[in-house]
Amino acid sequence: AQTVTQSQPEMSVQEAETVTLSCTYDTSESDYYLFWYKQPPSRQMILVIRQEAYKQQNATENRFSVNFQKAAKSFSLKISDSQLGDAAMYFCAYRRLTNAGKSTFGDGTTLTVKP
Amino acid sequence: NAGVTQTPKFQVLKTGQSMTLQCAQDMNHNSMYWYRQDPGMGLRLIYYSASEGTTDKGEVPNGYNVSRLNKREFSLRLESAAPSQTSVYFCASSEGYRGTDTQYFGPGTRLTVL
């Protein structure tokens, strides 16, 4: 069974600084997808960024980028120029290529942004 | 275009009561999902429907039933609620059942079972 581990329950960053959230996962499959979701206090789950395992290039979405290390099964999220609106809980998630309904989520990292 | 909607937003039940959580999507998506989120934890899949007319168990299906009423609607039923089912419930949908298909989430239902 796949597992996703987020080892940092809480992180904080100064506004305009950069922060990296860690995620590791365990799988025996070679093709899969990895996601980072943001959950603000409103509870709405918002997709931040997605990475296909077969792509070596790290995904980037504006101020958000990932460091995907397939051999190490590591998938960290870097937030540059942090903004107050980035404060939220962040979840790392794994989805198989097939039978994709069975997504696996980590327990989340709460990010605080200090003004 | 409302996306994924859930009703109710909040609910309090007594142990043994039953209720149905409603979910609807207006994106013409084929696949729908029910997750629960316990405090301090990530989402866990309860049931999913890969396409209209099919449903399958996820990671934590015990104590729940689902109905894919039509392509738009996917309901979750608690027949006899237990305190362990106190959680926030999220419905999600995606265009297809492939790993690449983005899941869109509803706003959640906060359920408390006394």
A105/B42 CB distance under 8 A: yes
Burial B75-112 (b: 16+ CB within 10 A, else e): bbebeebeeebbbbbbbbbbeebebebebbbbbbbebe
pLDDT at A41: 86
**Mean pLDDT, all residues of chain B:** 93
What is the pLDDT averaged over residues B22-45? 93
Q: How far is B23 from chain A (nearest CA, A)?
A: 15
How many Cβ contacts (< 8 angstroms) between chains A and B? Answer: 61
Structure tokens belonging to residue A103: 């997504």
**Cβ contact, residue pair A42, B101, below 8 Å:** no
Query: Which of A45, A100, A105 is nearest residue B97 as measured by Cβ atoms?
Result: A100
Contacting residues of B for A97, CB less than 8 Å apart? 98-99
Nearest-CB residue to A33 (from B59, B99, B107) = B99
Looking at residue B99, the DSSP 8-state letter turns out to be: T
- Reported as a single tens digit per residue, the pLDDT across A8-32 is 999 999 999 999 999 999 998 888 9
Helix, strand, or coil here: B41? Answer: coil
Q: Where are the beta strands (DSSP E) in A1-115?
A: 3-5, 10-14, 19-21, 24-26, 32-39, 46-52, 60-61, 64-69, 74-79, 88-96, 104-105, 109-114
- Distance (Å, whole) CA A5 – CA A25: 6
pLDDT digits (tens, 9 = 90+) for B42-96: 899 999 999 898 999 998 999 999 999 899 999 999 999 999 999 999 999 999 8
Over residues A36-45, the mean pLDDT reads 89
Residues 6+ apart with CB under 8 A from B3: B25, B26, B27, B104, B106
**Are B97 and A4 inside 8 Å of each other by CB?**
no
Percentage, residues of chain B above pLDDT 70: 99
Contact list in A for residue B99 (CB cut-off 8 A) is: 32-33, 95-98, 100
A44–B56 CB contact, under 8 Å: no
Closest CB to A101: pick one of B40, B43, B56: B56
Rounded to the nearest angstrom, the minimum Cα separation between B18 and chain A is 25
Where residue B102 falls among pLDDT bands split at 50, 70, 90? confident
* Euclidean distance between CA atoms A50 and A53, whole angstroms: 10
Query: Sign of the C-alpha dihedral, residues B103, B108, B113, B114?
Result: positive
pLDDT in tens, A49-58: 999 998 889 9
Q: Find the CB nearest A44 among B99, B102, B107.
A: B107
pLDDT above 70 for A33 = yes
Q: What's the pLDDT tens digit per position in A91-113?
A: 999 998 776 667 889 999 999 99
